[in-house]
Amino acid sequence: MREIILIKLGEMVLKGLNRKGFDSVLRKNIARRLKAAGRFDIREAQSTIYITPAEGEAADMDAACGIISKIFGLASFTRACEVEKDLSAIMAASETYLGAELSQAATFKVECKRSDKRFPLKSPEICAQVGGFLLSKFHGLKVDVENPDFTVYVEIRDFAAYVHGTALRGAGGIPVGTGGKACVLISGGIDSPVAAWMMAKRGVELTAVHFASPPYTSERAEQKAVDLLRRVGRYAGSMTMYTVPFAKIQEEIKEKCPQDIYTVIMRRFMMKAAQAIALKEGCSALVTGESLGQVASQTIQAIACTNAAAGIPVLRPLIGMDKIDIINIANKIDTYELSILPYEDCCTIFTPKHPRTRPVLKYVLKAEEALDCGVLLEDCLSHVKTTKIYPDV
């Protein structure tokens, strides 16, 4: 008898002829991430991945499950007891491996999946035999097939038999690295880390760009962005963050451009700078945390003006979400409390009192003629700092 982790795949099983590539990336992601918890053997059969501690090696199963819960591409997972395909062994494992849970339950049921049709008993017979055995061992326990306190699962598979409790929900999505590469504009706010997480869930490998404006913003604001990405990295994996010095550009815009379109022009510069970094990194799109109508720079007209500055697609996974939806996800991925720390980012400085909510592109372009855009961009991009982000596990 030994303990393993069983993983059930999500939407990857629908990928048809492309399935092999998704499987390969997922297995590499699992192997790389699990190194922090010890050495494991990984194999796949029948849309299930088997995670087994390597022979003779110490492995932290609690840590492994914590890591697995944050790997995109997995529908569910559970710790299970692996035994030989023998009814007596299955019954004994049900008692010893799940004894603590059964002792706390008033009602239970047994469910069985017999993938190996060579096993002499059919699923209903296995359920009846195991259920009867457990009733004899746990006095006061009753059967309730409709709404049990606890369910004992028995799986008869090609390799062995497996006994376990209810599976935990996985992170879903598709494996990071199967959806291309994109560059996320990361601030210190609530929205952009959620946007990054959502794109990683769709298999996108991320590079990050953060705009810093010292002396108006502090080193703590930049560190906050790093810490947020480390939280996102629990799901998205490692990434590189480029910190772009932006104060000079902001000062020039404030001095030479109309105040009511300051934010739109600033965001256009951000798009141009981020695009330059994205192309250097082989990214095919930009990602922002904008939500339609949330602030003046996120109206359809303002977004159109911002988009016009980018030569590659701009993805906005939060565009139709309200703030409560976004906050709920931020809490789920453990970024919310960090995001609300009171360290100003560059988007909050020089904010106009009355920003234009319906800017017109031709007037924005006319206002930009007062700026030496090429020189300003070249200067900020020549002073970019890179930081390697590793997951905060």
- pLDDT tens-digit map of 113-153: 999 999 999 999 999 999 999 999 999 899 999 999 999 99
Q: Are 200 and 206 in contact (CB under 8 A)?
A: yes
Asked if pLDDT for residue 57 goes beyond 80, the answer is no
Judged against a pLDDT cut of 90, whether residue 7 lies above it is answered with yes
Distance CA 390, CA 393 (A): 9
> Strand pairing of 107-114 and 142-143?
parallel
Reported as a pLDDT band with limits 50, 70 and 90, residue 58 is: confident
Per-residue pLDDT band at 212 (split at 50, 70, 90) = very high
Does the pLDDT of residue 14 top 80, yes or no? no
pTM: 0.91
Q: Which band of pLDDT confidence, cut at 50, 70 and 90, is reported for residue 30?
A: very high
- Average per-residue pLDDT in the chain? 94
pLDDT score at 295: 87
Task: Report which residue type is found at 86.
Answer: D
Predicted confidence at residue 158, as pLDDT, reads 86
CA torsion, ordered 13, 5, 332, 19, to nearest 10 deg: -20
User: Residue 366 — pLDDT band, cuts 50, 70, 90?
Assistant: very high
pLDDT, tens digit, 9 for 90 and up, residues 167-204: 999 999 999 999 999 999 999 899 999 999 999 999 99
- How far does CA 98 lie from the centroid of its chain? 31
Tokens 């030989």 belong to residue: 84
Q: Look at residue 331 and tell me whether its pLDDT is greater than 80.
A: yes
Q: Does residue 180 contact residue 312 with C-beta atoms inside 8 Å?
A: no
pLDDT band, very low/low/confident/very high, at 47 (cuts 50, 70, 90): confident
